[in-house]
A and B are shown apart, each in its own frame.
Chain A
Amino acid sequence: MVLILALILPGAVGLWLLGAGRQLSHRQSSMLATAASALTLVMVLVGVATRPVVNAPWVPALGLRWHLAVDGISAPLLLLTAAIGVLVVLHSGRRPPSGGASSIFHGALLLVELGALGTFLVRDAVLFFVSFELVLLPMWVLITRFGDAHDSQARTDAGGRFLLYTALGSTLMLVGILLLVHDAGTADLDQLAVRAGSGIRHQVLIAVLLVVGLGIKVPVFPLHTWLPPAHTIAPTAGSVLLAAVLLKMGTYGLVRLPVAAVPAGFTVVAPFLAVAGVAGIIWGGLICLVERDLKRLIAYSSVAHMGFVAIGLASGSRTGLQAALFANVAHGIVSALLFFVVGGLKERWGRVDLGVAHDALREVAPRLGFALLLGLAASLGLPGLVGFWGEFFTLYAAWSPHPDRSTALFRAVAVAAALGAVLSAGYALRVARLVWSGDRPDVVDAQPVTHTPEMAGTERAVVLTLVVGALALGVLPGPLLAMTSGAVDALVGGR
């Protein structure tokens, strides 16, 4: 019951806002959306604590059932999504969105949250595909209507590219799911995980289809080209949802579908996934060293972080899976923090071009500067912050992968990934130098940017919450690891 309410609430309020909420002012829609997302967070908390199960038929002709449940793998992601949902609505409440009605904006936010929560709750493979697709249209509306106000052609391009690439990925995933369901005779994710691939004939083909399809969403190099434009053009709330919620759906899908259901086929695909992951880390790092648009830089750093998650999944060992799940949550918190801060900077400055001279943040807005610095430190994997554990465990898991994998290849991948981590330190310090301490940039453009008001009110509360989260999980990773370990053991088993 709680699970159904947790889904119905954002869905109903979101649809109502989209349809009938035109007359609402910005404050009213913001308050309504805040109330809805806060209630959803409460229900998700109750659901994670009590772990109820829902199992009712929906479309018997297709074998589709409303099978919803919470387990150790989905619990952290559910909490992350619900929390980010509240933070995003609070952060957007400060000023009306540009480009359209506020009710449509908040309605779209709530519907994206609905799709993400649905993806993490469902236990049926075909229903997983349906909720996977649910987020596409609201996010497209957010990007094309409420995105960067300067360039409408760029908005259309970025939104169209996001929609079409992601739809291609999920339709490929659908073909893989249909083949899996045909071979296994069941669409239930729990039963597929228990079977672990026995009796499935086309394991390699299924694994290839699923990994390529989900790899577009994760995103895995070289299927990542939709991400930088989408993150850059989207409004702050949209970028945060994209980075902290939508990308997690891709990696969650990788865990639930290829890793759990067709492990033998995944073993064949894993080396390619690992190499693609490390290529993403190095490629993202190199681009970030020279990128001028700060939002685009953070987007490429997201590609690099997801490369670590990909390596952790590809390694196939228990540690690797734990590392991937931890890095998933870590990236959610860190990228949300960075996108909130950089989004705030974009609202103040109009654009975040590193080629333009700025006031030093440490002088004019020290708290905002501290948040930026902490986010960059977590992004590069500084010990004591949440980013460290994900990267550390991933490198450890890549160094000693599952016996099925080629140790030499994975050790080479681990070395290259460590070098990529050095690159991330490089670009993080570059951004800190240019933005936080106000060094003269290499390319001086037009007029220097001034007028940087300090964080206040809601913005400070939102950023502070994420800072505390990054610190707390960095110092005490134990509870999160304990939450996922039971389910990981069940998946990876005695391997």
Chain B
Amino acid sequence: MSSASLVSFDYLKLTPVLAPALGALLVLLLDAIASRLRRLHFTVGVLAMLAGAATALPGALLPGSGRSLSLCLPAPVGACLWSAGPVASALQLGALGSTLTVLLLLWPGHASRLPALRGGPAVTVALLLSATAGACAVAAARDLGSWLVAIELATLPVVVLVALRGSDRAGAGALSLLTTSLVSFALLVVGAALWLVATGDATFAATSASTAWSHPETRAVLVLAALFLLAGLGFKLSLVPFHTWTPQAYAGSSEPVAALLAATSKIAALAALLVVLEPLTRLGGGPSATSVRLVIAAIAALSMTLGNVLALRQEDPVRLLAWSTVAQAGWVLLPLAALIPQALGASAGYVLAYAMATLLAFAVVTVHTGRALTAYRGLFRLHPLLAGLLAFALVSLAGLPPGILGLVAKIVALRPVVDDGLWWLALVAVANAVLGIAVYLRWVAVLFGDPATDATPRIARSSLAALLLVASALVATSAAPQLLLGLLG
């Protein structure tokens, strides 16, 4: 019998997934052996993130057409089931970096004012690492089966993390998140099945997609498949009309878990969407492509507008950030309405910029623990560093200097839309850029003024490390946006 396996493994290239997955197993093992050492679990988690990031970086530095390949089928099929280009590797880096920040925010310590999540540190770290492993896997998955498993692996642990806070609101939030995940998984499975029917190929390959496109019957099925997959992923990206779980889940969970939902989950969902849309960007035009583009454009426009309008009315900072996530999801989807190859990198760049800024804002909210906007009044006098970081994050989300990265991200997102001639969508984006400024500057205005109390928030060392990590990434990429955009090939 031949000793060759079905696929060829290149383990080094798979490390972005293997490191978090093995880390999760190691943490559970350590918990069985030495359950008193809480910080050891978190240290293992941090090391796993760093190991994954170190191996994802070479993939991000490849040129635009380069691919990091693994899990390749033998000839004559030769297709590789793991294919990570620069965009996918950059998204993997983003997912690993954001989970690293969340780990630092959840770090157990004496000065930490957060009550620990139920189940203990081992469960928390294991769930975080599994979700990240799923996020990294879905970015590079090429076959339908792995893709579906990976996207669910990225979603379900987060549901548990929301529920582990233990309060009633957390339970309600986790329930809404769970039902949403189940519905979205059903849609994804149907979409994947339709893709298989249309192309006859169980992978997201460009060649089989274009073959399916050239025949009218299979083209209709392929379009239907794309729409189902978009709907399923729309739940995870918090797009309108799939967004209703977002404010409840964010408000119910603890702030670091809300940060995880806002950053890692969104990166994972976009990575999954880019895997689906990449073959479709190489097809020709025609009315079928126009229908897909129109649906994407409509969803993007609705998300931006509804998210901004409702964020203007929020008094709870976490709910404000939740609705801002809905609006920013619209911006993330905006370049994909053009369905051209450059749009994939533009969308990925925007989600990474948004993730950094939102993480910084959530980190400040975690440290400050104020759940009303008025609690932040006069923060510039009380704690200039914290207020400065929050203002920088909000200004980056709004897209105004000194948040240069947010400004560049908006330019990057608008360019494919303008290049493709979607004037009405560009005008909607312009109006929403202005609305977004109103949303975020409403909070920045509160930071000035006289503080109501004299209580200065105390920052634990791990939370300070998280703040400085994200802040320095945001400042560095604002001064030199090429650091981020160059990773996207």
Which B residues touch A141, using CB under 8 A? 448
Q: How many A-B residue pairs have CB under 8 A?
A: 83
Distance between A136 CB and nearest chain B CB, rounded to angstroms: 6
The residues in A between 400 and 445 inclusive whose CB is less than 8 angstroms from any CB of B are none
Q: Which of A169-177, A305-313, A471-479 contacts B (4 or more CB under 8 A)?
A: A169-177
Distance between A448 CB and nearest chain B CB, rounded to angstroms: 36
Which residue on B lies nearest to A141, using beta carbons?
Answer: B448
Distance between B268 CB and nearest chain A CB, rounded to angstroms: 24
Q: Say whether B24 faces chain A, with CB atoms less than 8 Å apart.
A: no
Q: How far is the CA of A171 from the CA of B415 in the complex (A)?
A: 13
Contact with B along A161-190 (1 / 0, CB 8 A): 001100110011011001100100000000
Q: How far is the CA of A192 from the CA of B408 in the complex (A)?
A: 22
Is A144 a contact of B445 with CB atoms below 8 Å? yes
Residue tally, chain B, CB below 8 Å to A: 33
Say yes or no: A163-B441 contact (C-beta < 8 A), given A62-B412, A172-B430, A182-B418: yes
Is A178 a contact of B414 with CB atoms below 8 Å? yes
Is B384 a contact of A179 with CB atoms below 8 Å? no
The one of A115, A134, A145 in contact with B448, judged by C-beta atoms closer than 8 angstroms, is A145
Q: Say whether B402 faces chain A, with CB atoms less than 8 Å apart.
A: yes
Q: How far is the CA of A60 from the CA of B414 in the complex (A)?
A: 17
The one of B388, B407, B427, B448 in contact with A100, judged by C-beta atoms closer than 8 angstroms, is B448
Which A residues touch B485, using CB under 8 A? 59, 61-62
Q: How far is the CA of A59 from the CA of B405 in the complex (A)?
A: 11
Q: How far is the CA of A454 from the CA of B278 in the complex (A)?
A: 73
Q: How far is the CA of A129 from the CA of B407 in the complex (A)?
A: 10
Q: Which of B152-160, B173-181, B432-440 contacts A (4 or more CB under 8 A)?
A: B432-440
The one of B400, B408, B415, B486 in contact with A167, judged by C-beta atoms closer than 8 angstroms, is B400
The one of A58, A62, A137, A168 in contact with B401, judged by C-beta atoms closer than 8 angstroms, is A137
Say yes or no: A136-B418 contact (C-beta < 8 A), given A59-B482, A100-B448: no
Q: Say whether B363 faces chain A, with CB atoms less than 8 Å apart.
A: no
Is B408 a contact of A62 with CB atoms below 8 Å? yes
Q: Say whether B311 faces chain A, with CB atoms less than 8 Å apart.
A: no
Is A182 a contact of B419 with CB atoms below 8 Å? yes
Is B407 a contact of A137 with CB atoms below 8 Å? no
Is B411 a contact of A126 with CB atoms below 8 Å? yes
Interface majority SS on A: helix, strand, loop or mixed? Answer: helix
Q: How far is the CA of A152 from the CA of B388 in the complex (A)?
A: 23
Is B437 a contact of A167 with CB atoms below 8 Å? yes
Q: How far is the CA of A140 from the CA of B441 in the complex (A)?
A: 10
Is A168 a contact of B384 with CB atoms below 8 Å? no
Residue tally, chain A, CB below 8 Å to B: 34
Which residue on A lies nearest to B479, using beta carbons?
Answer: A58
Is A171 a contact of B448 with CB atoms below 8 Å? no
Q: How far is the CA of A100 from the CA of B381 in the complex (A)?
A: 11
Q: Say whether B279 faces chain A, with CB atoms less than 8 Å apart.
A: no
The one of B402, B408, B414 in contact with A59, judged by C-beta atoms closer than 8 angstroms, is B408
Distance between A465 CB and nearest chain B CB, rounded to angstroms: 31
Which A residues touch B341, using CB under 8 A? none
Contact with A along B442-474 (1 / 0, CB 8 A): 000100100000000000000000000000000
Q: Say whether A255 faces chain B, with CB atoms less than 8 Å apart.
A: no
Is B401 a contact of A134 with CB atoms below 8 Å? yes
Which A residues touch B56, using CB under 8 A? none
Q: How far is the CA of A375 from the CA of B488 in the complex (A)?
A: 56
Q: Say whether A293 faces chain B, with CB atoms less than 8 Å apart.
A: no
Q: Say whether B395 faces chain A, with CB atoms less than 8 Å apart.
A: yes
The residues in A between 12 and 63 inclusive whose CB is less than 8 angstroms from any CB of B are 19, 22, 58-62
| Chain A to chain B: the 5 pairs with minimum beta-carbon distance, closest first | A61-B485, A178-B418, A134-B401, A171-B430, A168-B434
- Contacts A168-B434, A175-B430 aside, 13 further interface pairs with beta carbons under 8 A come to A19-B388, A58-B482, A62-B412, A144-B445, A163-B437, A167-B400, A167-B434, A171-B434, A174-B430, A175-B418, A175-B427, A178-B414, A182-B418
Residue pairs across A and B with Cβ atoms less than 8 A apart, 18 shown, are A22-B384, A59-B481, A62-B485, A100-B448, A129-B411, A133-B407, A134-B401, A137-B400, A144-B448, A160-B441, A167-B400, A167-B437, A168-B430, A171-B433, A178-B414, A178-B415, A178-B419, A182-B419
B positions within 8 Å CB-CB of A: 384, 388, 395, 400-402, 404, 407-408, 411-412, 414-415, 418-419, 423, 426-427, 430-431, 433-434, 437-438, 441, 445, 448, 480-482, 485-486, 488
